[in-house]
Structure 1
Amino acid sequence: MSESFKAILVSRDDNKVQSVNTVDLTDADLMEGDVTIAVEATTVNYKDGLAITGKAPVVRKWPLIPGIDFAGTVLASSHPDWKAGDKVILNGWGVGETHHGAYAGRARVRGDWLVRLPSGMTAKDAMAVGTAGYTAMLCVMALERHGIVPARGPVVVTGAAGGVGSVAIAILARLGYRVIASTGRTSESDYLKSLGASDIIDREELSQPAKALGKERWAGGIDAVGSHTLANVLSMTSYGGAVAACGLAGGMDLPTSVAPFILRGVSLLGIDSVMAPREIREEAWKRIGTDLDAAKLASIATTIGFDGIEQAARDIVDGKVRGRVVVEM
């Protein structure tokens, strides 16, 4: 019999009541895939919090091991790109939603879903970045492709004290942008300034219904909140600017008008981290290796053990988590 490992399993009964249990599994319990990995580190993202608390329909196959990203070492592979001993990262691809995820000692996935761990980065470092940080890098790359360079003006980051926001601020500041951080936790001002934010604004300024056009305040934005916040960010984006939208912490709706688009030529850039093609992922992780200050990354991350995952999931949904949570397996 193969060696057992601990896993968190989310289940549903006949009345669709969700339960979360820690169980012992073996390799035979894993789903199909051509690469088996020893999970060395994972993280708790907002999406993972929703999956474990059941506050949104993230899990779509039952029972399931949640956890949308991990880093670890290949144990066995029949995929041509990977061999035993390779250090790999996985983000997205429906893992932790429809395919057994990260909250287990082992994972079995398709080799096409993996990227190589950048040299000089540990599994723990990679999960301090995690899906949130990788998404932040995709947002920065999208703004760059749209010509939003530091000389164009400041960039606003919403949900600034969260995982995406924290990493986005650190990357933008290192690249020379002036960063305006919007947060509901103004007590985190010193933390946000330590990451490189020049100005802090209270999220209340952006959470009321937006005017069709507001005063032009920034050249670009990275928004993880959605709803009225994104509508306000768009209405205050300067002529020819762009906003990268990657999250819905404030809601899935977008109560805006066409005014920013047709009167100021503003672009709304959609960012999807789950199904992004491999070449874009590889570029993002390569950039993370060069454009994210290691000391700032360390200050963004808090480390917990496997037993702390469930509580961290509840805390992140309640808005009590600052930065990134790394789980050492």
Structure 2
Amino acid sequence: MTSFRAFRIHQDDAGYRAGIETMDTEALSPGEVLVRAEWSSVNYKDALAGTGKGKILRSFPLNGGIDVAGTVVASTDPSFKEGDKVLATGSGLSETRDGGYGEYVRLPAAWTIALPATLTTREAMIVGTAGFTAALALLRMTENRQAPSQGPIAITGATGGVGMLGIDIFSRAGYEVHAISGKPDRFDFLRNIGASECVDRHQLVFSGRPMDSAKYGGLLDNVGGKTLAGFLPLIAPYGNAAICGLAGSPELATTVMPFIIRGVSVLGIASAGTARDVRDEVWRRLSGDWKPRHLDTICTKEVALEDVASVFGTMLEGGSFGRTIVRIGG
């Protein structure tokens, strides 16, 4: 049994509260692999959980953090041994079990990923759920026959973590990327990480027609609502719209026309519960031919564990930029 610090979230008769406290490894959620955490990251979901502004946790108390990377200190599963570097994203972290915002985390072996040799634990957390989501979108799109020849990929919410990593990953995979963002002062940054064109979302004008001239080969959408509805009529025949966010709205008012006339496919990207074989394939690509080339640029902020709550408000207000990682130990 070892005492350690963790960012722990409670909801009880005293209300919803979260902060740094000391606990013992024996109190962690069950699992075969005990990991000394080195790095985590901050995602929109983490900000919702840490502030109580979203119903993320399904039981209390739990440690926050849907991502973690570190070193195995003990394992009852033969697949992992002391000293192995590992990572985990999603898989119930900070939802049904203790997450990565603690100096130790216990993981089920079934969801523990051996750290690829081409990634450090820090790099793995710059990628984190955000990069995993973008790469999962690309995997599903290519499995559904998306090809660079169909035209550029529009990426909405381009200055967020998924957006930036999506620009890097899709451009490395050979796609022309058009970044859609409401922050024109960041356009040079987006071009430097792979965007060939940047569009101010405030200047977007959609025709409102159920079909319009095809302009994009596909779409990676982090926004939803009117933005998603506006882009669907612009997608080329048999292109794909991968949907992974709702920063604008969860609602979608559209017609069936793009789907039945152009054969456009809508692909839902739910990264948290991705099957293990697919998860392994995504990390294989992320550490190989799809490895982002601008990780240190995309990582725009680094905070210590005790300061993790300080970034939640800005993220929820839409003011975050790039990836924020959490330095825990190691």
Query: With structure 2 as the length reference, what TM-score do the two structures score?
Result: 0.94
Q: CA deviation at 1:253?
A: 1.5
**In the alignment, which residue of structure 2 is the partner of 1:84?**
82
Q: Does 1:228 align with 2:226?
A: yes
Q: CA deviation at 1:314?
A: 1.9
Amino acid at match of 1:214: D
**In the alignment, which residue of structure 1 is the partner of 2:315?**
316
Match of 1:247 among 245, 248, 256: 245
Q: CA deviation at 1:49?
A: 1.0
Task: Answer whether contact 2:285 2:291 (CA < 8 A) is retained.
Answer: no
Q: CA deviation at 1:29?
A: 1.5
Task: Answer whether contact 1:209 1:228 (CA < 8 A) is retained.
Answer: no
**Structure 2: distance between partners of 1:326 and 1:39:** 13
Match of 1:38 among 4, 11, 36: 36
**In the alignment, which residue of structure 1 is the partner of 2:128?**
130
Task: Answer whether contact 2:7 2:305 (CA < 8 A) is retained.
Answer: no
Q: CA deviation at 1:275?
A: 1.1
**Structure 1: distance between partners of 2:36 and 2:265:** 42
Superposition map of 1:1-329 within 5 A: 2-14=1-13, 17-205=15-203, 210-292=208-290, 295-301=293-299, 302-329=301-328
Task: Answer whether contact 1:10 1:64 (CA < 8 A) is retained.
Answer: yes
Amino acid at match of 1:314: G
Query: With structure 1 as the length reference, what TM-score do the two structures score?
Result: 0.95
Indicate the larger mover: 84-93 or 291-300.
Answer: 291-300
Q: CA deviation at 1:292?
A: 4.5
Which segments of 5 or more consecutive residues in structure 2 lack a partner in the other structure? none
**Structure 1: distance between partners of 2:317 and 2:289:** 30
Q: CA deviation at 1:307?
A: 2.2
Task: Answer whether contact 2:72 2:84 (CA < 8 A) is retained.
Answer: yes
Q: CA deviation at 1:211?
A: 3.7
**Structure 1: distance between partners of 2:17 and 2:206:** 36
Which segments of 5 or more consecutive residues in structure 1 lack a partner in the other structure? none
Aligned length: 327
Amino acid at match of 1:203: R
**Structure 2: distance between partners of 1:67 and 1:252:** 23
Q: 1:96 to 1:181 in 2, by over 3 A?
A: same
**Structure 2: distance between partners of 1:209 and 1:159:** 21
Describe the SS at the equivalent of 1:290.
Answer: coil
What's the % identity of the aligned pairs?
Answer: 38
Task: Answer whether contact 1:184 1:202 (CA < 8 A) is retained.
Answer: yes
**Structure 1: distance between partners of 2:108 and 2:323:** 26
Q: 1:84 to 1:207 in 2, by over 3 A?
A: farther
Q: CA deviation at 1:235?
A: 1.8
**Structure 1: distance between partners of 2:235 and 2:194:** 21
Task: Answer whether contact 1:115 1:278 (CA < 8 A) is retained.
Answer: no
**Structure 1: distance between partners of 2:171 and 2:213:** 24
Task: Answer whether contact 1:206 1:228 (CA < 8 A) is retained.
Answer: no
Please report the RMSD computed on the Cα atoms of aligned residues, expressed in angstroms.
1.7
Task: Answer whether contact 1:115 1:282 (CA < 8 A) is retained.
Answer: yes
Task: Answer whether contact 2:286 2:292 (CA < 8 A) is retained.
Answer: no
